Amino acid sequence: MEPRDNAAGAGLSPPCLELTEGAFPGLEPEVVLTDQLFEYDQDLFGVDKMSDSQISPDARKVAEQVAEKYF
């Protein structure tokens, strides 16, 4: 199943889009590229290759930035 990329779906797969639209009518989701909100070793394949002790402080920073901007 291919994701739909439109204003209402923001790249969600069709089942996720239907669930989201049903639960939150009128919501316009926005994709947040959280790995761009903190600095990490770009030689890693992704942040999932970081240990919990490395990622926990950064996760708090990202959460604070997202909460400040969107809530």
The one-letter code for the residue type at 12 is L
Task: Please give the residue that has the higher pLDDT: either 1 or 21.
Answer: 21
CA–CA–CA angle 42, 43, 47 (5° rounding)? 60
How far apart CA 26 and CA 19 sit, in angstroms, is: 12
pTM: 0.54
Residue 6: the pLDDT is 46
What is the rounded distance in angstroms from the CA atom of residue 63 to the CA atom of residue 34?
9
pLDDT at 32: 84
Structure tokens at 22: 């049903």
Q: Which residues contact 29 (CB under 8 A, 6 or more apart)?
A: 8, 9, 10, 12, 20
Give the pLDDT confidence of 15-54 residue by residue, as tens digits. 888 888 889 888 887 888 887 888 877 777 777 777 888 8
Domain ranges for the chain, please list them. 1-30, 32-71
**What integer pLDDT is reported at residue 39 of this predicted model?**
81
